[in-house]
Amino acid sequence: MSTKKSIPAPAIERAITAKYRPRRIADLAGQSVLKATLTSALERGMVAAAYLFTGPAGTGKTSTARILAASLNCEEGSGPEPCGVCGNCRQIPLGDHPDILEIDAASNGGIDQIRQLIEFVATRAIRARTKVVVIDECHQLSTAASNALLKTLEEPPAGVVFVLATTERNAVLETIRSRCQELSFRPLSTDEVQANLKGICEEEGIVITETALAELARASHGGLRDAQSLLGQLRVLGRAIATEDVWEQASAIPEPLKHSLLGNLLKGDLLSALEDAREMLSRGHQVDEVLAGLRGGVRDVMLMQLVPAADGRLEATAAGKHRITALAGRRSYPELQVIAEVVARGMQANHNRALRGATLLDLVIMEASQAQPVAPSVVAAPVVTARVVVAEEASEEPACALAPAPASPPAAPVGPDAWASLLSKLPAGRVREKLEAATFLNLSDSELVVVGPASLAALAPAAGKALSAVLGRPIKLVRRAE
Ligand SMILES: Nc1ncnc2c1ncn2[C@@H]1O[C@H](COP(=O)(O)OP(=O)(O)OP(=O)(O)O)[C@@H](O)[C@H]1O
Ligand SMILES: [Mg+2]
Ligand SMILES: [Zn+2]
């Protein structure tokens, strides 16, 4: 007698991306503008004959094409809220419906496919009211196929809606683009990705720390499919997911390490900055990755300096946003511009294989740490509009190195020399002492912005008076927190 043991079949997990593919417009994460456009078109029965969906991978193009097809063909009636249970509603999201044709131009972009398409639209629908043709990666259609498609789009047959999707909008023929209504899919924000993943974790009972979730969202760079796939890979660990797991799985540079390098560089702690970079290399990150991270960080700091309210645009966790904001007062905008240029040159040198590896990284960091703003006429700082008018009563020597002030002032920053010269013009005393200890940020027609301790604020009236006297125009002292 055989003693065959019954081995339980392994439970096969459904991929998160398949299970959580949105079924209704309202379920789409982000994309608020196009959601509103499509909802309104469906409500008013004014759906276009051809759409062009453009945007990065994994942001909802194919999902939306299927949602549109289901919305037009729900057996309970057309509208933005397909019932989700009728035959059409169940079949369409699976990409398996006789009246919905999906063509992947990346693998099948030849003229034969378009002939098949023309035949498809010419025959009567089997179960649908409106046939839908989806052409994915439509920029990869051959020239002959594009021309044949164009003819169909010029005289769209009744009862058919075309959805062309692409990740490379500019590679789509202008003649095709102009026949379609374009809807652009945006990369999702870190917050939007995080919220979506959080919902899935709750549903699936996946235990993950809030920071790990935030890092996972950040590592996906706005693509929700990637974020969900990463979560799926991490779920296999079968335990609570920690931040380190995310870094490991996403092969991402840990955000705190990235910000440590940035902070040490901006603070002038060269040794620690070099050590941070070495640490990244020893973790297996490539030079271009390290430099790209640094460039992104410098950009973030510049953004926070100019538009502190734009912190929603930072690709950073909540803790990361705090660190970036704190760094915004460390260097003047012109200095940051120089650092950004040094890093960009390093990326170019790396690309050209002029210099490689740790040597290149060290050189970039050393050069960046020495950043000095270039001569005012060379750098055009968009927001730093310092027109320093030399005070009549001041000595022959101009108060700032920017003189003579032009009649119509071009944007020009005030460099450290000019700042030093301005300080030297101030009468000795508390105002000068305090300002000397502060970090110069910006001087405009009416304001001097510095970073320094709270005690500077109390000094503002006196400082304003002294500065106005030296510069010959009313100047307000504005302090930013360190
Ligand atoms: N905006 C979104 N809202 C909700 N889920 C999304 C969104 N974007 C992507 N997803 C998730 O990612 C998966 C893939 O999305 P979809 O196929 O729609 O992306 P795509 O934009 O067509 O990408 P590609 O350019 O690579 O074809 C979906 O099954 C869904 O789980
Ligand atoms: Mg797609
Ligand atoms: Zn339905």
Q: Is the CB of 23 under 6 A from ligand 1?
A: no
Cα R_g (the chain), whole angstroms:
29
Question: Domain locations in the chain?
Answer: 16-184, 190-250, 255-369, 378-482
Specify the residue for token string 């009549």: 392
CA distance 59 to 436: 50
User: From the CA of 34, how far away is ligand 1's center (Å)?
Assistant: 14
Q: Is the CB of 30 under 6 A from ligand 1?
A: yes
What amino acid occupies position 8? Answer: P
Q: Is the CB of 201 under 6 A from ligand 1?
A: no
What backbone torsions phi and psi does residue 162 show, to the nearest 5 degrees? -100, 135
Specify the residue for token string 């970073």: 451
pLDDT in tens, the chain (482 residues): 445 567 777 666 679 999 999 999 999 999 999 999 999 999 999 999 999 999 999 999 999 999 999 999 999 988 999 999 999 999 998 888 999 999 999 998 889 989 999 999 999 899 999 999 999 999 999 999 999 999 999 988 889 999 999 999 999 999 999 999 999 999 999 899 999 999 999 999 999 998 899 989 988 889 999 999 999 999 999 899 998 899 888 888 999 999 999 999 999 999 999 999 999 999 889 998 999 999 999 999 999 999 988 887 787 788 888 999 999 988 999 999 999 999 999 998 888 776 667 888 999 999 999 987 655 443 333 333 333 333 333 333 333 322 233 333 333 345 555 677 778 788 888 888 888 888 777 777 778 877 777 788 888 888 888 888 877 777 888 887 77
Q: Is the CB of 73 under 6 A from ligand 1?
A: no
Q: Is the CB of 91 under 6 A from ligand 1?
A: no
User: From the CA of 64, how far away is ligand 1's center (Å)?
Assistant: 8
Architecture of domain 16-184: 3-Layer(aba) Sandwich (3.40)
Q: What is the enclosing helix (H) or strand (E) of 293?
A: helix 287-306
Q: Is the CB of 22 under 6 A from ligand 1?
A: yes
Give Cα separations from 77 to 81, 89, 100 (angstroms). 9, 11, 17
User: From the CA of 31, how far away is ligand 3's center (Å)?
Assistant: 23
Residues 6+ away with beta carbon under 8 Å from 223: 56, 57, 58, 59, 187, 188
User: From the CA of 80, how far away is ligand 1's center (Å)?
Assistant: 18
Class of domain 255-369: mainly alpha
Whole-number pLDDT of residue 250: 86
User: Is residue 334 within 8 Å of 379, Cβ to Cβ?
Assistant: yes
Architecture of domain 190-250: Orthogonal Bundle (1.10)
Nearest of 414, 391, 397 to residue 470 by alpha carbon: 391
User: From the CA of 338, how far away is ligand 1's center (Å)?
Assistant: 39
CB atoms within 10 A of CB 10: 6
User: Is residue 314 within 8 Å of 325, Cβ to Cβ?
Assistant: no
Q: Is the CB of 225 under 6 A from ligand 1?
A: yes
Nearest of 325, 309, 273 to residue 482 by alpha carbon: 325
Residue nearest to atom 28 of ligand 1 (CA): 21
Residues 6+ away with beta carbon under 8 Å from 82: 23, 24, 67, 70, 71, 73, 74, 76, 89
CA distance 117 to 106: 16
